[in-house]
A and B are shown apart, each in its own frame.
Chain A
Amino acid sequence: MVPDKPDRALTSEVIAIPTRPPDMGSVHDALARFWLGVTAHHHGAIETRWQVEFETAVGEIVANVVRHAHPPDSVPNPVRVMFHLFEDRIEAHLLDHGIPFVDPGPRAAAVYSIDQLPEGGWGLDLARGLVDHLLYERGDDGTNAWRLVKHFSGAAPEDTPTTA
């Protein structure tokens, strides 16, 4: 089940990053600060791989937003990135005012012929596989809102992942 809209987070990290040039360093720095907050507030061990999965999913969605919602000929517009800790999960929220996201659908079955192996298009499927929920909404005011949800071990959702 997708958690209700977040109420009060135990700790949060909020940044705004430029899209040209994209400042991925700030995203990773913010994540590092967020993990310190998570460690301080969350009671229980957090596996490195679990963290890596969340960071990788965040990186893919930030890349998707910067590359596709803010092409080079668009008006420069920062992307707001937020990380939140709740009792049973962590979430990342991305807000921007770029071009609406159009879901290309799942990638076709894996192709193992080297000649036919695509060099791009892996990102969304990768992100979907690394978090419990990947949600996207286009607001009436032209806001793109992404929400990534990952539950702590033992607090996994009961249904299949809901994806953008």
Chain B
Amino acid sequence: MDVTIEKRDDETAIVSLTGRLDFVTAGVVRQRIVDTITDGHRRLVIDLASVPFIDSSGLGALIGGLKAARSAGGDLRIARAPEQMKVVLALTTLDRVFTTYPTIDDALSEYGS
């Protein structure tokens, strides 16, 4: 799993993930997201375009990131979620919790960037 963090301004960052987000990689991803928020970038866009598979542990990493972002007064938004991710979100009803966007720009525009 590769994690790339692009900081757009003092508060906004794009976290791009490449690889499977599962119980093997979820801990590292969660920590990178929380570290980014602790660093002041509390408005995050998670780009999942290159994540072919996510399991419930991966979902847990995103939940942890969402909670950390909201606690810091920001948010965590998902962009370019693959079909498999949408299936997981719908079945867990977490599609009511996460805001998903078709493109990174759409997610950023909601932040007013």
Instruction: Give A contacts to B, CB under 8 Å.
Output: 21-22, 24-25, 28, 48-49, 52-53, 55-56, 59-60, 63, 66-67, 110, 112, 114-115, 117-123, 125-126, 129-130
Contacts and interface: CB of A to CB of B under 8 A. Distances in A.
Interface residues of B, number: 25
Chain A interface secondary structure, helix, strand, loop or mixed?
helix
Contacts of A28: 20, 53
Contact of B88 (A48, A110, A126): A126
A112 B84 contact: no
Interface centre among A21, A22, A110, A122 (most CB of B within 10 A): A122
Contacts of A60: 55-56
Interface of B: 20, 22-24, 53, 55-57, 59-61, 63-64, 66-67, 70, 83-84, 87-88, 91-93, 96-97
A129 B93 CA distance: 12
B67 A56 contact: no
B59 A122 contact: yes
A130 B91 CA distance: 8
Contacts of A21: 24
Contacts of B59: 122
Contacts of B24: 21-22, 24
A55 B84 contact: yes
Contact of A119 (B60, B70, B88, B97): B60
Given A112-B96, A117-B63, A126 B56 contact: yes
Given A49-B83, A56-B55, A110-B93, 16 more contacts: A22-B23, A22-B24, A24-B20, A25-B20, A28-B20, A49-B87, A52-B84, A55-B53, A63-B57, A112-B96, A114-B67, A118-B63, A121-B56, A123-B57, A126-B88, A130-B87
A91 B63 CA distance: 31
A59 B91 contact: no
Nearest to A67: B23
A123 B91 contact: no
B60 A120 contact: yes
Nearest to B57: A63
